[in-house]
Amino acid sequence: MAQLVEQELLNPSDYIPRVVGRYSPLLIDHGKGIYVWDVNGERYADFTSGIAVVNTGHCHPRVVAAIQEQAARIIHAQANILAHSPMMQAAKLLTETTTPNLNQVFWTNSGAEAIEGAIKLAKVATGRPAVIAFKGAFHGRTHATMAVTSSRVKVRGHYEPLIPSVYHAPYPYLFRSPYKGAPEDADLFYFAELEALFDQMVMPDDVAAILAETVLGEGGYMVPTKRWMQMVRELCDRHGILLILDEVQSGMGRTGTMWAYEHFDVVPDIMAVAKGVASGMPVSAVVSDRALMDKWAPGAHGGTYGGNAVGTAAAVATFEVMRDEDLPGNAARMGEILMAGLREIQADYPVIGDVRGLGLMVATEFVHPDGSPNPEAVKTVIAKAFEEKTLLITCGTYDQAIRIVPPLVVTEEQIREFLDVYRRAVAAAA
Ligand SMILES: Cc1ncc(COP(=O)(O)O)c(C=O)c1O
């Protein structure tokens, strides 16, 4: 374990505004693998991955070495002024993992910026103004990304006016579907709601893009059906609409495949990538086909820091670690053990209404006996897990679910230890 650093203990609330809500009181010193250590030397198992970011684990030695080496060479080689190897190498490695039509990478700095870029590209490429997004989605906090976000009203409320010409359809939330027919047909109901926008709200040839999280994250970890996703793809094709998939949270091996779209046998026209792409360095990307990217004239979009040399060097190391350690494969294997263990806990404690997810993008939704959302149980479980030195975060509009998103380097032993902690925490809430 690394030496704890001597530091003056400042109070976050003196310097950092309260808008930065805090999930834990921890003042952190360092991290390694799935663990972080606070300034008192206490170790915590991080089942948040810093909101699904450190997929290679905290401070993977190869990522650390790449950052150190690049920082000593050049930190800021501005992309419009100087090309550099990490930026291109990372794009090459990224596009080697994607479908052939995702072959060029516009580097940005955050998930929101990637979504902004994706929407701008879709508008320019189609010459159309409108975007269709899904209820419950989270895409970021800039003005355009707030407009396509509806996971919680506090993200967008009080910021109006947002960008116009955004239309919302319900995303398949199969656990709470209003559809009263056969459960296996619920996805058809959701698709019909989407298609009805064209009868009631917007002409299809005014729509530049349909934007969807491949697996819905912040809004509750909802996994759509393959059929629904394929119908959305087909709808786009029918009307010349571009399909933007937001893989900011679901990408980079998280769901047991490198990209979540692989589960659904669909191919996006534009993909937004962030979070896990550089193991915690602020790197994100808009990924698309050269033919589409060519519609962006030089200078029609840009940014000072996009493709930062240190950030993309971290991305290079991240892709190499993903490949060499088969982290998507580990996510698939560990995810199965995790889901099976959670289902056993659910069988004993009906306060868990639903266990859902893909790979290591997993959530449990908590319910009252009448089936209504139970955020109080969520609070208790998170607090109890924290007492046992395990970090967890919520998701869902009502904070009715807990997401379980450990780094993809997690071992079976660590998953089983976690399941023991979780069982005790759920028992306390039941
Ligand atoms: C699916 C998705 N898209 C976009 C974003 C926005 O990313 P950022 O916070 O880096 O702007 C997030 C962040 O949680 C996300 O989960």
How far apart CA 128 and CA 145 sit, in angstroms, is: 18
How far apart CA 120 and CA 344 sit, in angstroms, is: 46
**Ligand 1 centroid to residue 139 C-alpha, Å:** 5
Tens digit of pLDDT per residue, the chain (430 long)? 445 555 677 888 888 999 998 888 999 999 999 999 999 999 999 999 999 999 999 999 999 999 999 999 999 999 999 999 999 999 999 999 999 999 999 999 999 999 999 999 999 999 999 999 999 999 999 999 999 999 999 999 999 999 999 999 999 999 999 999 999 999 999 999 999 999 999 999 999 999 999 999 999 999 999 999 999 999 999 999 999 999 999 999 999 999 999 999 999 999 999 999 999 999 999 999 999 999 999 999 999 999 999 999 999 999 999 999 999 999 999 999 999 999 999 999 999 999 999 999 999 999 999 999 999 999 999 999 999 999 999 999 999 999 999 999 999 999 999 999 999 999 999 9
The 3-state DSSP class for residue 382 equals: helix
**Ligand 1 centroid to residue 218 C-alpha, Å:** 8
Q: Which two tokens stand for residue 107?
A: 């580097």
Residue closest to 312 by CA, chosen among 6, 128, 82, 40: 82
Our answer on whether the CB atom of 112 is closer than 6 Å to any ligand 1 atom is yes
Give the count of beta carbons closer than 10 Å to the beta carbon of residue 17: 7
> Strand locations in 97-226, DSSP E?
104-108, 130-135, 166-170, 207-213
Q: Tally helices (H) and strands (E) across the chain.
A: 14, 15
**Ligand 1 centroid to residue 248 C-alpha, Å:** 6
Residue closest to 35 by CA, chosen among 55, 49, 52, 53: 49
How far apart CA 121 and CA 142 sit, in angstroms, is: 16
Q: Which residues contact 347 (CB under 8 A, 6 or more apart)?
A: none
| pLDDT reported for residue 6 | 59
How far apart CA 400 and CA 11 sit, in angstroms, is: 30
DSSP at 250: T
Beta strand 393-395 with 166-170 is unpaired
CB 311 within 8 A of CB 282: yes
Q: Which two tokens stand for residue 301?
A: 């979009």
Beta strand 130-135 with 104-108 is unpaired
Give the count of beta carbons closer than 10 Å to the beta carbon of residue 403: 24
Work out whether the CA dihedral 271, 275, 279, 283 comes out positive or negative: positive
**Ligand 1 centroid to residue 30 C-alpha, Å:** 24
- Give the closest residue (by CA) to ligand 1 atom 4: 139
Our answer on whether the CB atom of 109 is closer than 6 Å to any ligand 1 atom is no
Residue closest to 219 by CA, chosen among 263, 242, 250: 250
Work out whether the CA dihedral 422, 135, 98, 321 comes out positive or negative: negative
Give the count of beta carbons closer than 10 Å to the beta carbon of residue 9: 6
Q: Which of 215, 221, 275 to mutate to test the pocket of ligand 1 (most atoms within 8 A of CB)?
A: 275
* 244 DSSP β-pair partners: 211, 270
**Ligand 1 centroid to residue 111 C-alpha, Å:** 4
Rg (C-alpha) for the chain, rounded Å, is 21
How far apart CA 131 and CA 167 sit, in angstroms, is: 6
| pLDDT reported for residue 11 | 83
Write out the H or E segment, with its range, that includes residue 403.
strand 401-404
Our answer on whether the CB atom of 338 is closer than 6 Å to any ligand 1 atom is no
* Upstream peptide bond of 204 is cis (omega within 30 degrees of 0): no
Beta strand 352-358 with 284-288 is unpaired
Q: Which of 249, 358, 403 to mutate to test the pocket of ligand 1 (most atoms within 8 A of CB)?
A: 249
Residue closest to 125 by CA, chosen among 301, 292, 300, 299: 292
**Ligand 1 centroid to residue 393 C-alpha, Å:** 15
Buried b (16+ CB within 10 A) or exposed e, 198-230: beeebebebbbbbbbbbbbbbbbbbbbbeebbe
Our answer on whether the CB atom of 271 is closer than 6 Å to any ligand 1 atom is no
- Give the closest residue (by CA) to ligand 1 atom 16: 249
Our answer on whether the CB atom of 137 is closer than 6 Å to any ligand 1 atom is no
State pTM to two decimals: 0.97
* Upstream peptide bond of 61 is cis (omega within 30 degrees of 0): no
Our answer on whether the CB atom of 276 is closer than 6 Å to any ligand 1 atom is no
Our answer on whether the CB atom of 246 is closer than 6 Å to any ligand 1 atom is yes
